[in-house]
Amino acid sequence: MSKRTKGASVFIDGEAGTTGLQIRDRLSELDGVTVLSIDPAVRKEVAERAALMRKADLVVLCLPDDAAKEAVAIADELGGDAPKIVDASTAHRVAPDWVYGFAELDAEQTERIRNAARVANPGCYPTGAIALLHPLVAAGIVPADYPITLNAVSGYSGGGKSMIESYELSKTAPDFELYALGLEHKHIPELMKYAGLTRRPIFVPSVGNFHQGMLVSIPLHLDTLPGKPCPRDLEDVLARHYAKSANVTVLPEPSAKLSRLEPQALNDTDKLELYVFGKSALNHAVLVARLDNLGKGAAGAAVQNLQLMLGLT
């Protein structure tokens, strides 16, 4: 069966989940895109999924890691009829034959995504952390082996169906909690690879009693960095890196001189804001990224990537 020659068709494998529904809503607003849906009664049937993959120009995987790997194996069996794939799971984020779906990573990443057959969508926490760290590591301001600590808080929608139910239905979840205190969070390999770190960072994620929104923060002792940069030096590097970006904004002084920052201001957008809070007299700085964990941290990035891969933007 041949692919569509006019417009583009997209199959969301796992569209009933939080990210899948968000992607479907966004695609409904795009001209020239047809969403192919599977009957819920046969959503796990290999033959039914393969038939839709054969029809689709692109498949978005909104599945657990093992299920995403199985879906890729199904696509592999289609040979020349295999669709392009955007994988929203963590299964392929550090795989060498997949392109990482953070278009703003560097000057060439957008074209890599545009020309890719398979793209791994970034995680929400790594999106913020990599956006802050990659330009600074690449510029030599932050050494690759620097001992980084990352603190982050997300709305509970990032925890999937069971966590959402614990907050919204059973009301059993706490207002705030730290988690992954075993220091083995699955986002760390992705974060290290694309931030350019060679030393494993300490990552302390947390979840709060709000549906969506995210803050990622990285404290730095400036006098321990090469050249002892001031906060403005860090800000300048970030501003130059993202100067042409439509989605990533570096907030300059005095806009960044706030005493408080809340995580929900960018909800329902695909924006990412970066801040450098600093005090030269103390040799201290705190880098902060703010984003919607369901927007630029998930569905928004997936739609951005599929538009590039399908030649829609």
DSSP letter for each residue of 36-78: E---GGGTT-HHHHHHHHHH-SEEEE-S-HHHHHHHHHHHHTT
- How far CA 262 is from CA of 28, 207, 212, 266, in Å, comes to 30, 13, 12, 10
Instruction: Describe the crossing of helices 231-241 and 124-138 by its angle, rounded to 10 degrees.
Output: 110
Distances (CA, A) of 42 to 3, 14, 21, 49, 61: 23, 12, 18, 8, 16
Q: Are 304 and 27 contacting, i.e. CB atoms less than 8 angstroms apart?
A: no
Sole residue written with tokens 């620097």: 146
Q: For residue 200, what are the CA distances in angstroms to 65, 182, 304?
A: 22, 14, 29
**For residues 189 and 95, what is the distance between their CA atoms, to the nearest angstrom?**
11
Task: Please identify every residue annotated as catalytic.
Answer: 124
Strands (E), the chain: 8-13, 33-36, 58-61, 84-87, 99-100, 118-120, 149-155, 176-178, 202-208, 214-221, 248-250, 272-279, 284-291
